[in-house]
Amino acid sequence: MLIEDDIKLDYSDVLIRPKRSELTSRFDVEMNRTYTFKWSGKEWTGVPIMSSNMDTVGTFEMHKELSQHDMVTCIARQHNTNGKPWNEAERKNKLCVMSGISDVEIDEIVGVANTFPEIAFVGLDVANGYTVNFVDAVKRLRERLPHATIIAGNVVTGDMTAELILSGVDIVKVGVGPGSVCTTRIKTGIGYPQLSAVMECADAAHGLNAHIIADGGCNSSGDIVKAFAGGADFVMIGGMLAGHDECEGELVFEDDNPEPIGMQFYGMASRTAMDKHGHSNREYRGEEGKTVSVPYRGAVRDTVVDILSGVRSGCTYVGAKRLKDLAKCATFVRVNSTHNKVYE
């Protein structure tokens, strides 16, 4: 048994100190990033904010809107066996196909990737990226798709980030338990404060000419700013996009009111998800996610514009003319409270 005495930080533990800035408008901030990936050798340009590949977030309707802003949509696994929406989707360079690590699931995403090579990213997504079995799956996927840009995770430490990269991963997904509908930390006691995880994994990845995604824990555009400032190359969001028409989730009604008041949103390790996808084995596998009703919010466009506006504004406060510059312009300040909560 060991205890680490170093303080580890979450997004709620810090603010970013403002600095003198020569920017005169949020419009002046360049949000696009261009990356060349370690193993695929491919170049990608866009706004590096991604939807999560959750059932009620990672939809093709969400992609239609996010792609208009050069953002990425990670499509939920349930669509991997249906070729029609993949074929009909425009701007496939803003799409990611993801699955788990069973042979059947890997066969599915290899089939999608080979049929539509213009898809930007291919991913392996598990809650626990620390198993030897997961590393072996990464190696098998790299052998089958030598020219694909591969995403894999989740992990939260530099050592495992490095192992995944050396096994063939271009982009490591970082985060264990920070998501709004994830209960892994409660059920298992396992996790790592997300900002520290991002900083440490980014350091490991960048030293190997690879990249990371900060996955989970962002409740506001300010948290996205903090993730980029901490070294994240991409930021993945789920709950911030939940509740919109494009999510195609189950609507919630109250009494005889014909207008929806909410929408179902659930974690991919929740009982709802396991029952839906036939992954439930009650003899040994418990749920590590929850199902909630979030307020119904209509079309997602205004939310996306608000998120991007917040990130742009954060850049102007520290003089970052490009999103690329944010990490080197930012100075974190540890705080006891990040904002006034009187009217919450």
Task: Tell whether 6 is covered by a domain.
Answer: no
Q: What confidence tens digit (pLDDT) does each residue in 308-342 have?
A: 999 999 999 999 999 999 999 999 999 999 998 89
For the chain, the first-to-last Cα distance in angstroms comes to 40
Q: What confidence tens digit (pLDDT) does each residue in 259-317 have?
A: 898 888 877 776 776 767 766 555 666 777 788 889 999 999 999 999 999 999 999 99
Q: What confidence tens digit (pLDDT) does each residue in 61-101 have?
A: 999 999 999 999 999 988 888 888 999 999 999 999 999 99
Sign of the dihedral through C-alpha 343, 258, 267, 172: negative
247 is catalytic: no
Rounded CA separation 53/97 (Å): 8
User: Which listed residue (59, 73, 149, 184) is catalytic?
Assistant: 184
Report the share of the chain in percent with pLDDT over 90. 76
Task: Tell whether 343 is covered by a domain.
Answer: no
Q: Tokens 């919010």 correspond to what residue?
A: 297
Residue 260, class by beta-carbon neighbours within 10 Å (0-12 exposed, 13-18 middle, 19+ buried)? Answer: middle
214, 195 Cβ separation under 8 angstroms: no
CATH number of the domain enclosing 87: 3.20.20.70
Structure token digits, residue 129: 């990226």
Q: Closest by alpha carbon to 173, among 189, 149, 190?
A: 149
Neighbours of 99 (CB within 10 A): 23
Angle at 94 between CA 90 and CA 95, to 5 degrees: 85
Domain coverage including residue 178: 12-334
- Reported pTM: 0.95
> Which own/partner pairs from 338-343 qualify as long-range (CB within 8 Å, at least 24 positions apart)?
338/12, 338/14, 338/15, 338/222
Total domains in the fold of the chain = 1
Answer yes or no: is pLDDT of 18 > 90.
yes
Task: Tell whether 344 is covered by a domain.
Answer: no
Task: Tell whether 4 is covered by a domain.
Answer: no
> Which own/partner pairs from 295-299 qualify as long-range (CB within 8 Å, at least 24 positions apart)?
295/243, 295/261, 295/262, 295/263, 296/243, 296/251, 296/252, 296/260, 296/261, 296/262, 296/263, 297/243, 297/244, 298/244, 298/245, 299/65, 299/244, 299/245, 299/246
Task: Tell whether 220 is covered by a domain.
Answer: yes
Task: Tell whether 140 is covered by a domain.
Answer: yes
167, 133 Cβ separation under 8 angstroms: no
What's the DSSP call for residue 26? G
Structure token digits, residue 7: 């303080």
316 is catalytic: no
pLDDT category of residue 198 using cuts at 50, 70 and 90: very high
Structure token digits, residue 174: 């970082």
Instruction: Please list the residues that pair with 172 across neighbouring strands.
Output: 152, 212
Q: What confidence tens digit (pLDDT) does each residue in 41-50 have?
A: 999 999 999 9
Q: Tokens 């939310």 correspond to what residue?
A: 303
Structure token digits, residue 35: 């990356």
Task: Tell whether 340 is covered by a domain.
Answer: no
Task: Tell whether 3 is covered by a domain.
Answer: no
